[in-house]
Chains A and B, each alone.
Chain A
Amino acid sequence: MSDIPLSPLNPEWPRAQAESRAHGGLLSWVASIDHKEIAIMYLITTIFFFVVGGLEALAMRVQLAIPNNHFVSPEVYDQLFTMHGTTMVFLVVMPVLIGLATYFVPLMIGARDMAFPRLNALSYWLLLLGGALLYYSFLTSRAPDMGWFSYAPLSEKPFAPLPGPSFWALGLLLTGIGTVASAINIIVTTFSLRAPGMTMRRLPLFVWMSMVNSFVILFALPALNAALVMLLVDRKLSGNFFTPASGGSAILWQHFFWAFGHPEVYIMVLPAFGIISEVIPVFSRKEIFGYPFVAASTVAIGLLSFAVWAHHMFAVGMGHAMDVFFAVGSMLIAIPTGVKIFNWCATLWYGSIQFTTSMMYALAFLLEFTIGGLTGVMFTLVPVDWQVTDTYFVVAHMHYVLFGGTAFALFAAGYYWFPKITGRMLSERLGRWQFWTVLIGFNMTFFVQHILGFDGMNRRVFTYPDLPHWGLYNMISTIGAFILGFGALLFIINIEYSRRHGAIAGDNPWNAWTLEWATTSPPPPQNFDAVPPVRSRRPVWDLMHPEDPDWKDSH
């Protein structure tokens, strides 16, 4: 059982790849159906859009640095926050997580590729096309300017006669179809292509969470796609779905959007949980504490994520019953999330902790994500939500979850997996600098925004009056944003430097235990010549420690 049969779908696969490599050049990337190459294209594309979205954020922070500023006009400011949000959600966080899953799910389960390699390529190219369409809207004199959740009727023709929102809808529709295709691909790969012995109870947690995440995508994205189709009917065929003036319902857009939008929050964080569940055990030199609970709580989060969407709409006036239902649902979801936090802490307990940059990001994740999670629980108290909705408190909360949570996990993944992808280590020295710069910059930028929110500063307004402390706090936030931007730049410099001059990584630089470390760095086109026998959750540990393998224990 030391060898796996070729994937039944593409027996010609290694030869086709070898031919594609032989031709070389840019065309071999465009034509590639290798999951590793497609994943690298995902990662490069998302880094590019991360820079674009980051520059948009910095332009907003410059505008907000001092009261009554006129760095950008209100019209430009509206476009900036819309494009920043849309870019970061749809062109950075979602695709980077899917890209990581595309690279590592097949490797971690001992497969040669994804189940549908061509569909995999289609998903990526739809993402790129969708991103291009979205940004093409700048050439039509005005980019979308109605906010990333595009509330009707602001997105409708009477308020937005220029084609910006149409490009927004078309772009998201394309990336949305690509995302659904990726989700199908990841689920089928996980269910059908596992190496012999890789049972569901031995599946690495990153694979577990990417798989659950794909189910969430499967049932959440159609809500957005249906709403986008209806918006396009309104805009292009003079439909009446979301225009109250002709009998339509603007509230229905909110329901449809958030029926997608709240599961989306978990789509953006579940794979990050998976990353943390891989990184923390390896650098604690301990197995994860309570594996079944970490996996099962993911399923619980996935299910509950569909029953909380209207907590984004407490201010709409849906009535007491609705408010209570969604408040309780939102409180419940804190329980499985809390289970995970405790599992990670228990894994650290009595571990031999190695403070690599990756681990430091994982530890910072625990802290920052918990802060974001706690402010999230505050919103479930309906009166608190009424008080702070549409203020900078929301902005602070959401960035603690998405930056302090997901982005920190992504940096942890970057330092952890870069050696596998390129064969070279990222510089740890530069990594330390980068970590502290990002940590300080991030907290400076967003912590003060909690206070500004309580003081009543509205989000999405291009400037603010010179009230006591507001100028000071905003200046701190702006300086923090530039420090954070510098930290992100250091990461890109580190990648550029280390991929040429970094230390050679070897197969398994971290002495990690999952199957991706059983092959070379970078892996050969066929991934494995022989997959090690999988008899426990840590096959590579079993391989390295034949005197004390996991499978001799009770589990």
Chain B
Amino acid sequence: MAAAAPALTSRYLDPIRLGVLLLIATEATFFVFLISGYVYYRVMVHTTPTAAQELDPFKTGLFSIALFASSATMGVAHRRVHHPQRRGLALWLGLTIVLGATFLLGQGLEYVHLYRQQFTIARNVYGSSFFTLTGFHGLHVFAGLLILLTLTGLVMADRRHAIPDVAFDAAAYYWHFVDAVWVVIFTLVYLVK
């Protein structure tokens, strides 16, 4: 190679976007292991009651729609970031938070219902794997809500232009990831009997 062309650091990947994508990759791997644990016990161990027998796919499906819809509202919010005044950003972020919180509420109600049926984390392997898998997903939704609340708070306090675009990119990537994980969990746990 002849004398190297001068290059600027900025042509490389943006650190924050790359960092969040790597975080998502490692988190996805974490869920792969929790999910494969669940599937292993579903297939290999035969005791009752199973989580699948106790669950209500319709009710949870409704709350799941709230989570799936929140990905759409997050997408709209993400577009507003690039709007000159970032108008409507707080509204769409707020809507995303409400939908995410609705999903968590549904999960809470479901847990209470299951505990009333004596279907607990200690009951059998299905209980252990069901609550661990869905619980960790709920924890990730909760973490996502904290991120969105922080951003919304800053936007509402009129610091919207102090927040760089990448912060919203990061939040959006993470939120879509949490949503995508639920697509897999919902299908495997609630729909495949």
| A residues neighboring B (CB under 8 Å) | 1, 4-5, 7-9, 115-116, 180, 183-185, 187-188, 191-197, 199, 218-219, 221-223, 225-227, 229-230, 233-234, 237-241, 246-249, 252, 256, 259, 533-535, 551, 555
Contact = CB atoms under 8 A, between A and B. Distances in A.
B188 interface: no
23 contacts: A5-B9, A8-B9, A184-B22, A184-B23, A187-B18, A188-B18, A193-B9, A193-B12, A194-B12, A196-B8, A197-B4, A197-B7, A221-B26, A223-B29, A223-B33, A226-B30, A226-B33, A230-B128, A239-B132, A241-B132, A247-B47, A551-B2, A555-B1
B125 interface: yes
Contact of A535 (B4, B25, B32, B121): B4
B29 A187 contact: no
A43 B18 CA distance: 28
B15 A252 contact: no
Contacts of A229: 34, 132, 136
B15 A551 contact: no
Contacts of B19: 115-116, 184-185, 188
B192 interface: no
Contacts of A194: 9, 12
Interface string B29-54: 11011100100110011010000000
B84 interface: no
Contacts of A221: 26
Contact of B14 (A192, A195, A230, A551): A192
A164 B13 CA distance: 44
A180 B28 CA distance: 13
B96 interface: no
B4 A184 contact: no
Given A196-B7, A240-B125, A551 B29 contact: no
B37 A252 contact: yes
A4 B96 CA distance: 41
A196 B8 CA distance: 6
A499 B6 CA distance: 39
A7 B8 CA distance: 12
10 shortest A-B CB distances, which residue pairs?
A: A226-B33, A238-B122, A222-B30, A239-B128, A222-B29, A192-B15, A1-B6, A115-B15, A184-B22, A247-B125
Given A184-B26, A555-B1, A192 B33 contact: no
Contact of B6 (A8, A180, A197): A197
Contacts of B7: 196-197
A230 B4 contact: no
Nearest to B22: A184
B121 A237 contact: yes
Given A188-B18, A239-B121, A247-B47, A233 B132 contact: yes
B117 interface: no
B124 interface: yes
